Amino acid sequence: MSSDQKKKPELNEHNQTKIGAGVAIGIGVGVAIGSAMGNIGAGLAIGISIGIVVGVSLQKKKKTDQEKEKPE
């Protein structure tokens, strides 16, 4: 197995943790929003969607940073 094939799972795990961290933060924010609105279910839905967006944006930011560091 080449070194490139060994690195792929590490990158996938790292990217999944970014999305997971975003969802976890989003759930916390969603519960706070839901408590303020009086509807925790709606707050959770809003928080999870915000968390996914944050996680994906962190993932893409990391990918663009890595592409900038690569020498051509």
**Structural domain boundaries of the chain?**
26-53
Residues in the chain: 72
> What pLDDT, on a 0 to 100 scale, did the predictor assign at position 5?
52
Cα–Cα distances (Å) from 12 to 16, 25, 51, 64, 70, in that order, read 6, 20, 18, 15, 19
> What pLDDT, on a 0 to 100 scale, did the predictor assign at position 59?
82
pTM above 0.85, yes or no: no
Instruction: Give every residue of the chain whose pLDDT is below 50, as ranges.
Output: 1
Q: List strand residue ranges (DSSP E) for 1-72, in order.
A: none
> What pLDDT, on a 0 to 100 scale, did the predictor assign at position 7?
53
Sign of CA dihedral 29, 35, 40, 45: negative
